[in-house]
Structure 1
Amino acid sequence: MSRTVFCKKYQKELPGLAMPPYPGPKGQEIFESVSAQAWQDWQKQQVMLINEKHLSMASADDRKYLQAQMDKFFNNEDFDTASGYVAPE
């Protein structure tokens, strides 16, 4: 049986991640409060932001920007999206 978490993005109990998505306290926080579905949705959003804004993961500023957008995404705050992107219905 898979573990569940109360997802802060979707505000309900959902299946959680199998393990923290990256090391450290932030990875543990995500593991404990973000569902697998929310993480998958963020991954899609992250790829669009990296591509649209030509972000480099070698750049500390770009990584900091992406971290801030991820926090906004999971906290249901306004976050940057790819311009011109229309979500499927």
Structure 2
Amino acid sequence: MTRTVFCKKYQQELEGLSAAPFPGPKGEDIYLNVSAKAWGEWTEHQTRLINEKHLNMMDMQARKYLTEQRDLFFSGEAFDKAEGYVPENKDK
């Protein structure tokens, strides 16, 4: 049986993550309140932001920026988009 959570992004019960994505309170909060679907979407969006904005993950400012964007993404607030990204047309 899969574990479900009430996803704060989608506001419904969805399949949860199998483990916290990283240690600490933030990782535990994501494990308890974010669905596997929302986490997967975030990781794709995070990759686009890193690539488009040429973020250096060794830079604490870049890491702080991504943390802020992640919180906005999951809360349903406006978050930064990758400017050059055009979604793939899956209907083809």
TM-score band, normalised by the shorter chain? over 0.9
When Rg is computed on C-alpha atoms for both structures, the one with the higher figure is: 2
The alignment covers a number of residue pairs equal to 89
The separation in 2 between residues aligned to 1:28 and 1:69, in whole angstroms, is: 18
Find the counterpart in structure 1 of residue 79 from structure 2: 79
Q: Does 1:34 align with 2:9?
A: no
**How does the TM-score come out when normalised to structure 2?**
0.92
Aligned 8 A contact 2:48 2:85 in 1:
no
Aligned partners of 1:34, 1:88: CA distance in 2, in Å? 25
Cα distance in 2, alignment partners of residues 84 and 48 from structure 1: 9
> Cα RMSD (Å) of the superposition?
1.0
Moved over 4 A (4+): none
Q: Distance in 2 between matches of 1:80 and 1:68?
A: 10
Amino acid at match of 2:62: D
- Give, in angstroms, the shift of residue 60 of structure 1: 0.5
Structure 2: stretches of 5+ with no match in the other structure: none
- Which residue is 1:11 aligned to? 11
Residue identity matched to 1:82: A
Question: Aligned-pair distance for 1:88?
Answer: 4.6
Partner SS state of residue 6, structure 1: strand
Shift of residue 70, structure 1, vs aligned partner: 0.2
